[in-house]
A and B are shown apart, each in its own frame.
Chain A
Amino acid sequence: MLEVSGIAKRFGATVALDRVSLAAERGRVLALIGENGAGKSTLLKVLSGAHQSDSGTMSLDGQPFLPHSPMDARRRGVAIVYQELTLAPDLSVEDNLLLGQPGTGMGMLFRSRQRERIGEALRQVGLPHLDPKARTGDQSIATQQLIEIARALATDARLILFDEPTSSLPAADVDRLFQLIDDLRRKGLAIIYISHFLEEVRRIADDYAVLRDGHSVGSGQLEQISDEQIISLMVGRDVTDLFPTVSHTIGDPRLQVRKLSGSPIPSDVSFELRRGEIFGLAGLVGAGRTELLRCLFGLRPARDGTVLLEGRPLPNSVGRRKQWGLGLLSEDRKTEGLAQNLSIIENLAMGNHGRYSRLGWLNLAARSRDCQRWMRRVEVKAENGQQCVDELSGGNQQKVAFARLLAQDAEVYLLDEPTKGIDVGTKSEIYRMMGELAAAGKTLVFVSSYLPELLAVCDTIGVMARGRLTEVRPAAEWNEEDLMTAAVATPAASEETEFA
């Protein structure tokens, strides 16, 4: 029904998609599988008309299909159910279903004509009793997801794309969703289902297509391939990067985390870290790794559990935890990690001003001297310390953010995706600095979605899935396949997980 062949899309110098091909058939579910950053979202955007491909062809029922806008794609019968809900919470269910619908003339709505259609769509998704006048935001997440699907059905969609639809659903509602997808398949719709979770894919899909680094690397019928083969298709990249390691020895226990829970994630996480240890955290986006770090640092409230540093429970505020030696490198460099409109020195000194002051008055010369020292230490490439941070490259920005932790003289480094979006050279510099810190007896937590760097840099690696820390082993006892298997596994206890 849908044929995609040789699609390419680049953003500036970044190649997001390169010669991607796949086919979706009527009455079948195609699972689109790939790691974070493999190009799934970009492909989805091309299919939905949000982006236009640079080259390649697409056809729908034999007709050329080149949607120039999401509206255009919808008119041709292609609808998307997004990962994040895209319903307007303040509008009624009916109004949400009407958004972007055909059947409006000269900007006027003809509700009576469309009510039948809406009622039919709600019946199909199993919500026949839902009041179309009810406020959408008052419905549960699962119901909202069904409303999204009803919106797709109301447009007479023939091909529906699901973008990781279960990531925001509790387990019981996942069954309901799968039942619905199965019904749609039987009605003869074509479905493309994007997910990380291989169990889900096995349950619902007929065919698979794997993307890696923007390429199609394999496709076929799911019956004819094992999980192990799919995983090796997903991760099978050459490890040619340099991972400089600094030898370091692991010392006494320092940080003990016991049954730490947030609302709703992380959930019941316990582990122990020692001096000179680099602890890696693997897992999918949304598995709760960022939330765990933020709970530890005090930026996210913990619902339950204790965290002991050197045997003493941590204080509450971020400021106090910083004084105790905790430091967090944010995964969001642009809006949280650095104040983009301030200078390098201002960013380095932010929150550390107490070090250069007496009775609240700053010693500007001391501040400047110290910041210049840290800039040299991490080799920031900039004209001078007065340069505005947003003029620096991503890698240099990350060095500034990293240097702030050094200036803070942190003992426990919580690093959230420290190498995301930076060049290979800077990456290896960051690995080297991490090794040097461990050699100096510091404790590091290293969250990353890039498995080779975790395996090369860490002493111990834990895997998180659906808010839980499922497995911790020494790095030597892991390999990429095992990590991926553990990350996509649904933890046995996940039914008990409360999704508030």
Chain B
Amino acid sequence: MNLKRRLGSISLALLNHGPALALIAIVLLFTIADNAFGSGSFFSGRNARVIINSAALVAVPALGMTLIIIAGGIDLSAGTALTLSGTALAIAFRDYTIDAQAAGAGTWIALALLGGLGVGVLCGLLNGIIISVTEMVPFIVTLGTMTIFLGLGQVIADESTVYPQTEHLPDWLRYLCYTGSNEERYWIPFLPIPSSGLIAILLGGLVAALLRLTVFGRNIVAVGSSPSTARLCGIRVGATTVWVYALAGIFVAVGALLYFANVKNGNPSDGTGKELEIIAAVVLGGGSLSGGRGSVSGTLVGALIIKTISSGCTMLSIPNTYTHIIIGVIIIVAVLIDGLRNGTPAWLFNRLGRRAD
């Protein structure tokens, strides 16, 4: 009996930090495997920077997705909205012909950024309005807008990839996703963390504060946990939904900016499939697709887990196809384990207990 209780409390403590512990375990596993069979470069500062940068590209839009999922929704259009917004940015920088260092460039750059951000916010706003006005299932609505955004992107890009001239980009934008060895390119001197990673952490802090410390944040949790209870309590469920999707649109737009800074071109078709990676990060971090539950730190770690696995597999020369399989298995196992925390670990511990008796 005593043993059973102790097992229970230990495992609960483990489950509460599940995603972080899983990340540590995965890093350890790949480090050992890489040292034995690979080049030994997995556990290095440079590779850490690469992983952090690519994780940030997923994590930033995933922060918006965390809000949506906590509110009981889903956004399948996040991927194509991201590349639509990124393509708009790329077009703005392609059609603009003054060097970034020239006088008067600042205004134009600000306009271009605002335009790109605006596209993302409009995408989110459109999702939110359709969902709350028609009361259709978010899955269906965003399935539709996913294709619409893809098509829109292809229209404005003339069905090709948009390449702006690199000298038109301001330095800070060009090095937003820099992972090289020149320490002067990082925001914090002598601490080489990619700027994209810092942005993800900063925005994560803001979202966590929003969820925990604001009336709006608590209303999001209420709407996601039980919409009928929220309605009973006088919370405007429809308006809250619209705001959540619009806010998520901002994160998609910032994600687009990072993505653009990373690849320095705009390809509207790049976004297909990204939404699944974004949703996977939220779910790995403990988000529940039935609403009311999700964690900012979990989402950030979830994005890191996905990118660590891809990076590790690359280092070990495991083909991409197997990487997909591994990540898929990990998502399912993670949600299964997470179910123990939320539901009844009883079935498991009853078995352990019976054996211990």
Knowing A360-B215, A362-B213, A362-B214 are in contact, say whether A335-B226 is a contact too (CB < 8 A): yes
Q: A318-B234, A319-B234 are in contact. Are A339 and B215 (CB under 8 A)?
A: no
Determine how close the nearest CB of chain B comes to the CB of A336; give it in whole angstroms.
4
Which residues on the A side are within 8 Å of B293 (C-beta)? 341
B110 at interface by CB-CB < 8 Å: no
Asked whether B222 lies within 8 Å of A339 as measured between CB atoms, the reply is yes
Binds B, one of A161-169, A348-356, A471-479: A348-356
Is B221 close to A, CB under 8 A?
A: yes
Instruction: Please pick, from B214, B229, B234, the residue contacting A339 in the complex, using a CB distance under 8 A.
Output: B229
B216 close to chain A: CB less than 8 A: yes
Chain A contacts of B232 at CB under 8 A? 299, 318, 328, 330, 336-337, 351
| Distance (whole angstroms) from the CB of A445 to the closest CB of chain B | 16
Q: Which of B215, B226, B230 contacts A362 (CB 8 A)?
A: B215
| B234 adjacent to A342 (CB under 8 Å) | no
Contact indicator A350/B233 (Cβ below 8 Å): yes
Q: Does B324 contact A (CB under 8 A)?
A: no
DSSP class of B's interface residues: helix, strand, loop or mixed? Answer: helix
Give the interface centre of B216, B226, B234 by most chain A CB atoms within 10 Å.
B234
Check: B126 CB closer than 8 A to any chain A CB: no
Chain B: CB-nearest residue to A297: B232
A352 to B216, CA, bound (A): 12
> How many whole Å from A159's CB to the nearest CB in chain B?
39
Q: Let me know if B229 and A350 touch, CB within 8 A.
A: yes
Q: Would you call A337 and B213 a contact (CB within 8 A)? A: no
Interface assignment of B323: CB less than 8 Å from any CB of chain A: no
Shortest distance from the beta carbon of A107 to any chain B beta carbon, whole Å: 32
Find A353's partner among B215, B225, B292 (CB 8 Å cutoff).
Answer: B215
Q: Does A346 contact B (CB under 8 A)?
A: yes
| A337 in contact with B229 (CB, 8 Å) | yes
Does chain A have a CB within 8 A of B219?
yes
- Contact indicator B228/A342 (Cβ below 8 Å): no
| Tally of A-B Cβ pairs under 8 angstroms | 81
Q: Which residues of B contact A362 (CB under 8 A)?
A: 212-215, 218
CA of A417 to CA of B114 in the docked complex: distance in angstroms?
54
Report yes or no: A336 in contact with B229, Cβ–Cβ below 8 A: yes
CA distance A336 to B235 in the complex (A): 13
**Interface presence of B231 (CB below 8 A):** yes
Q: Is B231 in contact with A350, judged by CB distance below 8 angstroms?
A: no
Query: Are the C-beta atoms of A341 and B225 separated by less than 8 Å?
Result: yes
CB distance from B220 to the nearest CB of A (A): 11
A339 touches B226 (CB 8 A): yes
Write out the residue numbers on chain A whose beta carbons fall within 8 Å of the beta carbon of B229. Answer: 335-339, 347, 350
B213 to chain A, nearest CB (A): 5
A38–B54 CA distance with the chains assembled, in angstroms: 64
* Of B214, B221, B231, the contact of A346 (CB 8 Å cutoff): B221
**Hey, which chain B residues are within 8 Å of A404, CB to CB?**
233
The answer to whether A139 has its CB under 8 Å from any CB of chain B is no
Does B5 belong to the interface (CB within 8 Å)?
no
* B338 vs chain A, min Cβ distance (A): 14
- A348-375 contact mask (Cβ, 8 Å, vs B): 1 or 0: 0111111001001110100000000000
A318: B residues at CB distance < 8 A: 231-232, 234
Contact B231–A353 (Cβ < 8 Å): no
Contact B234 A349 (CB under 8 A): no
Assess A349 versus B218: contact at CB under 8 Å? Given A299-B231, A342-B292.
yes
**Bound form: Cα–Cα A330–B232 in Å:** 8
Q: B279-311, CB under 8 A of A: which get 1 and which 0?
A: 000000000000011000000000000000000
- Give every chain B residue within 8 A of A341 (Cβ-Cβ): 225-226, 292-293
CA of A361 to CA of B210 in the docked complex: distance in angstroms?
Answer: 8
Indicate whether A352 sits within 8 Å of B292 (C-beta atoms), given known contacts A340-B226, A346-B222, A362-B215.
no
With A and B bound together, what is the CA distance between A404 and B173 in angstroms? 50
**A364 and B213 within 8 A (CB):** yes
Across the interface, do A361 and B228 meet the contact criterion of CB distance under 8 Å? no
| Residue of chain B at shortest CB distance from A353 | B215
B17 at the interface (CB under 8 A from A): no
**A249: interface (CB < 8 Å):** no
Checking A322, A328, A350, A364 against B230 with a beta-carbon cut-off of 8 angstroms, the contacting residue is A350
Contacts of A364 in B (CB 8 A): 212-213
> Which A-chain residue is minimally distant from B228 (CB atoms)?
A336
| Alpha-carbon gap, A341 to B232, bound state (A) | 16
Cβ of B305 to closest chain A Cβ, rounded Å? 25
Select which of B215, B222, B228, B230 is within 8 A of A354 by beta carbon.
Answer: B215
Which residue of A321, A328, A357 is within 8 Å of B215 (Cβ)?
Answer: A357
B215 — which chain A residues lie within 8 A by C-beta? 353-354, 357, 360-362
Say whether B228 contacts A353, CB under 8 Å: no
Chain A, residue nearest B233 (CB): A351
Question: In whole Å, how far is A447's beta carbon from the nearest beta carbon of chain B?
Answer: 15
Q: Determine if B218 and A353 form an interchain contact, defined as CB atoms under 8 angstroms apart.
A: yes
Are A322 and B234 CB-contacts (below 8 A) given A339-B225, A339-B229, A350-B222? yes
What are the nearest 9 A-B pairs in CB distance?
A: A351-B233, A339-B226, A319-B234, A339-B225, A322-B234, A353-B215, A336-B228, A350-B233, A339-B229
Inter-chain pairs besides A328-B232, A335-B226, 18 sampled, C-beta below 8 Å: A317-B234, A318-B232, A318-B234, A323-B234, A335-B228, A336-B229, A339-B222, A342-B221, A346-B221, A346-B222, A350-B218, A350-B233, A351-B222, A351-B235, A357-B214, A360-B214, A361-B214, A362-B213
Question: What is B's interface to A at a CB cutoff of 8 Å?
Answer: 212-216, 218-219, 221-222, 225-226, 228-236, 292-293
